[in-house]
Structure 1
């Protein structure tokens, strides 16, 4: 599908909304506008590159205003999707404006919330109990639903079938034509311990819809591109400090009118950002976080998940699947091990490049040795690095396996971030990942 730059589609709506106005619309406490809770704003592409590749994201929200334009991502979203998001005012009409042939080629998660209710449910089956597969199937089920007043939030929208991405030739399902990964450049992107384009998803929602309080199944970083609409993003302190709050409010979206306990929970957020059209945002999926759309215009945001070379971010990544990660959100061991094998490939390559003296990127070269050492504190990663391969045959087999996984990286079964249904533990602690 062809893509049209955002600025060619008319004036960006809601871009002048202030934080105070956004908090009022959301019904969130005015105290969240305090300077100590404000995101860190970047002023240059060099600052962004350093923050992206080597900066800490734990307990931080970092925003590059007008970043979609500055990073040359304006034409990333297919035109039909972007026009639908900018011209429609609810996700039902957004879906209805798309051609059936296009919907049939897409998959997404559909979350529904009944009027005056807080708890959402995911649309997985139609009234007859038949499993729903494509976005076309789910749109038909929504049309046939008895309750047309349910609000609808679209998550993890991507192509149903994998294809070779035009920019790097690797398998992908993302609908985006380009990513921050491409702006960074292949050399730097491949030097990151992990960077996923395969499962990159788009999220679309109207006012008071969004992603409820959650922690990503894998504790990586996210770089988000907000193509249209306004949303509030709140994060809470990493780790034990927030565990009790998370136990009480996990998978809840704080929509107005707030309960007193929700106001108190919001006041404990360490950072709150207002994202307006064109903003690019960095934050850690290891922080408990929540995003809620507050504009009349639909919000459309895409996220890339990655692990950079910063020690705090790397330690959070190694916390994935352990007791240090909240039990409601842990990925299963096989999923984590598949991702860690991708990390092993990067460690192998970085070690070889350093040993051969061919790593000439000063920023990467300065941070790679410490990152390699920290990652190898993980027993599974350490036991799989190439240094342990004792025969040429073993090395050759590993190279073949690497080629497969670089081409088609570890996937999260369509539920990379918040869904507890696909590979994460249940709220009662059942089916927990084994602990190392």
Structure 2
């Protein structure tokens, strides 16, 4: 057994015992496979600010931050105070309420493409409905997505997510479910345009994350050119902003890169720590899903939203989050930008100085640590999967960093306003110490 694994097991007997209980009642011991890692996942009992604490009382600087949700940190008072008051009036109502109207009005003012919108509870359903709207509006079938792109687990987008890309992503998904889903390489402009043109008059739309998987920024002009080519083809440009919405800027990717899509999806930061999703876009597209559209059966678009859509708690948390970000944008976004820059540069330098070849990808407050094996340019997830040591990143680096009180995912994560300068110094120092340990084994 590796020394860092032994140390992890020695520090976390409570998590080990809990995992032994979990595997008896849940497949693999988890309900979200992303949360599993060997030898067993860390079980958390409390959070505050930039910190999490496990069952054994170990404290960590958190870089996962609720799946990149907590832009202000865990339990920010700007949201927590609102929720404490709101819960006294009930949790789930199941009725329309004024807060959803107020939130929609606020999003309409902030997000460039959001002429109209519908709320749901998960990013998976948001992207599913975005595809449905695109096909209904255009009367076409083909959807394009980036290889390695993750848009939730709906069947039509569960294609070419992980290597090897040419093997079906999951058992239980009929081939017919993905027969009209075609793929391209993110940041490969020539190849993406070729895929658009190859789809021809049957292209309904393209769905793309403005920032690629593992936080790879778009090369200059990529998003703008792809959007223009898609719109010239009479199809819809769908921007998946579930992670980037309200994080890269107040207007997300749309504001940062000046790219206005036909439809966008949002979630995570938007919910203020509560479960939320959003499909927004041009009025004439969104109105296809309205109960007052007057369209006959088969011509309108079915969008359920879910039992728990527009819960007053969620709407109030979201209003508080969006309001706080809007009021403090001039302070928040430059601060997050600087924190991200410091971490990326600092961690990369610390690892390289220790004798470990490393490269940090990322943008804004987001970052990933990669361990390159050659000089391949890391412009998309395919390049990272084929030319970097992902096992070293996801097992050894991750566990060694946890043993030093830093919780990472994909070697990095998301910074928040709660992360202090001292936190950033600790992250960088821990990366340097980890690098020296890793180099000693070479």
Q: What is the TM-score normalised by the length of structure 1?
A: 0.26
More strand as a share of residues: 1
- Report the structure, 1 or 2, having the larger helix content: 2
